[in-house]
Structure 1
Amino acid sequence: MLAARPSSPLDALWQTSVVVWVLLAGEGLAAILALAPSGDGNRWIHFGVGSLAIQWILLTTLGSLYVLRRPISAWRPASVAYVALILLVLSTWLVFGLSTWLLADLWPMDRVERLRWLGRLTALALTVGALGLAAFQNHWRTRQLAVRVAQSELEALQARIRPHFLFNTLNTGAALVHQRPEEAERLLLDLSDLFRAALAGPREISLADELSLVRRYLEIEGLRFGDRLRVTWSLPEALPAIAVPALSVQPLVENAIRHGVEPAASGGDVSVEVVEADGVVQITVGNTLPATPVRPTAGHQVGLSSVRARVQAMTQGRGSVETQAKDGRYTAILRLPMP
């Protein structure tokens, strides 16, 4: 069983929107410095030079954080903030040192003037860095609160799904207990495994464990529908070593049976396929559509919404759940990026 992967404040730094805003903030700082009353000469030149220097400082700082992301990813957010501030100051010194060396002929300075400029730039870097860290801390806290709210919503969705599944299974068990007691016992054991996974709360498990739960669920429904339920598996020899939200594939299979097999007098076919390609694992659950269209129920939408929300939360928006009905067949496709 796989543990959930912890999130780090550094994860937000690699998002495109954050990088763009950092670069725009650098341009804004360059504009402020160019328009300062103490500035002399051509302000466009001041802006261009300041913009070039600031962007190099910011990109060097972000690049250093990216290189150090693995050793510091487990640190407390406050410690990561101090490291980022230190890297910002070091990047400022590095860019200033290279500038004075490469432009020694165009920008001659004695030792005292060089130290004065270094002190000014250090104070500016500390001030801007402190303001940036304060803004980023607020962003991180807001993001954590949003994750907690989303987690609460997911738990509420799961709570609405479990009673429906429990009632259906108990009804099946009640029908079997006198006529086929051995199968009723097996049903209760499978139900125990499924609810042990469900009641453990939102977490991640391996794909192999999730498909094992799906098999138990299909065994339960097989006792209920008999020959009316026809299941086809298409799995690779070795399942991808990837984590999935617990009970994420099972609701898709439950929907396939509920809306594709149960309404049809002759039953229907359900297929489960796993394919890995181009760094993406695709899990496809399909079912034949009954001849008479069945209007989707609220339970169908709740289960699908829960799976979609949990997949997006686990993969930070990189995973997806899509559905389509075509050529008399309904399919649900779950895509997860490989770690």
Structure 2
Amino acid sequence: MPTSPRSVSPLPLDALWQTSTLVWVLLAGEGLAVVLSLAPGVNVDRLVYFGLTSMMVQWVSLLTLAGLYVLRRLLAPLTLHQLAYVALALLVLNTWLVAGAAWYLLGDLWPMTDGSWQALFLRLTVIVLTVGLLGLAAFQNHWRGRLHAVRAKQSELQALQARIRPHFLFNTLNTGAALVHQRPEEAERLLLDLADLFRAALAGPRQILLEDELSLVRRYLEIESLRFGDRLRINWQQPRELPPVTVPALSVQPLVENAIRHGIEHLPGGGDVEVTVTTTVDTVVLRISNPVPRSGPAVPGHQVGLNASQVRIEALTGGRGSVQTQLQGSRFIATVRLPLNTAG
């Protein structure tokens, strides 16, 4: 069996490049500029003072974020507290640089409230240290909350995996037992396929290439084809080469299992299971289609496999991937969408 790509844990700096974080940084900068322009002791035009202060604050904020982004590879091994010290140092340094540039370019044109440029530098340093420490405290609380959410999601995924393993193994063993009694000459082929499937099921939560997951699906369908015979017809369509996108192990196989358990198994004449894989510029689309009894999708079951596939794919892709189901005429269709930038 192929080895799975290494999973990547989230890093504290990753949260800074999100659109919501950038918007909040800009809004917080504008809020600080408003507070400073409305503070007592401003004896100049407050609107002009606000505009210049806003420009300075935004330059300091953007330069600090840019510095952290440029140094992200060097900062990656640091702890959260070490990152906080580095970010605070960059914030103070950029404040001095922007204030120095303003003093050099504007000179006496800058609307001084009182005192000299030296006093302004000192006041700006105290303000930046105060605001920076408050911002870092807020960011640390946000990051701890995010880590708790990630751990909770990991626990949920592990619980789902623990539920799907016995569900999958029980159904597969039933298939094997039925086949051994009916067609013992196929037993060796069955055991080899079962060995691969068991190995994947018992390996625990991990990521594998979509190509390897589809290989497991083929093994499962081979086992079911031996049991159902002519009642099961498989129509498989996929491109010659699949992009190296990753999926959680045993996330597609339960969808194919549902197509047989709740579709083919309850049709006296059987039917065809269609597995179609198509690719676009940025997405891989996998469709699994099966006929259903006239009364609708028979035996709804506990939907363990479907729920686990949906939650695990959404977690792996950060919500950009999806598992959707629909009843279209007399066929039940499960559609899996995977963004290509989840490649390992």
Cα separation, 2, equivalents of 1:11 and 1:290: 49
Cα separation, 1, equivalents of 2:33 and 2:71: 28
| 1:99 aligned to which of 98, 102, 114 | 102
Q: Structure 1's 241 and 97: CA in aligned 2 closer, same or farther, altered over 3 A?
A: same
After superposition, where does 1:4-153 map in structure 2 within 5 Å? 4-104=7-107, 106-107=109-110, 113-153=116-156
Letter of the 2:189 counterpart: R
Cα separation, 2, equivalents of 1:79 and 1:283: 44
Letter of the 1:145 counterpart: H
Secondary structure in 2 matching 1:155: helix
| 1:319 aligned to which of 315, 318, 321 | 321
Q: 1:305 is matched with which residue?
A: 307
Cα separation, 2, equivalents of 1:71 and 1:254: 46
Per-residue deviation at 1:29? 1.4
Per-residue deviation at 1:314? 1.3
Per-residue deviation at 1:139? 0.9
Letter of the 2:279 counterpart: E
After superposition, where does 1:180-191 map in structure 2 within 5 Å? 180-191=183-194
Per-residue deviation at 1:108? 8.8
Per-residue deviation at 1:74? 4.6
> If the length of structure 1 is used for normalisation, what is the TM-score?
0.90
Unaligned runs of 5+ in 1: none
Cα separation, 2, equivalents of 1:79 and 1:269: 59
Q: 1:312-336: per-residue Cα shift (whole Å, max 9, x none)?
A: 2112222222222223322222222
Per-residue deviation at 1:240? 0.6
CA contact (8 A) 1:264 1:291 kept: no
Identity of aligned residues (%): 61
After superposition, where does 1:265-280 map in structure 2 within 5 Å? 265-280=268-283
CA contact (8 A) 1:286 1:332 kept: yes
1:336 aligns with 2:338: yes
Cα separation, 2, equivalents of 1:51 and 1:299: 57
CA contact (8 A) 2:95 2:124 kept: yes
- The two structures, once aligned, show a CA RMSD in angstroms of 2.3
Per-residue deviation at 1:249? 0.9
Q: Structure 1's 136 and 152: CA in aligned 2 closer, same or farther, altered over 3 A?
A: same
Higher mean Cα deviation, 242-251 or 70-79?
70-79
Q: Structure 1's 96 and 160: CA in aligned 2 closer, same or farther, altered over 3 A?
A: same
Per-residue deviation at 1:187? 2.4
Cα separation, 2, equivalents of 1:327 and 1:162: 32
Cα separation, 2, equivalents of 1:336 and 1:71: 31
Per-residue deviation at 1:296? 5.3
Q: 2:208 is matched with which residue?
A: 205
Secondary structure in 2 matching 1:275: strand
Q: 1:252 is matched with which residue?
A: 255
Per-residue deviation at 1:276? 2.3
CA contact (8 A) 1:235 1:275 kept: yes
Letter of the 1:187 counterpart: L
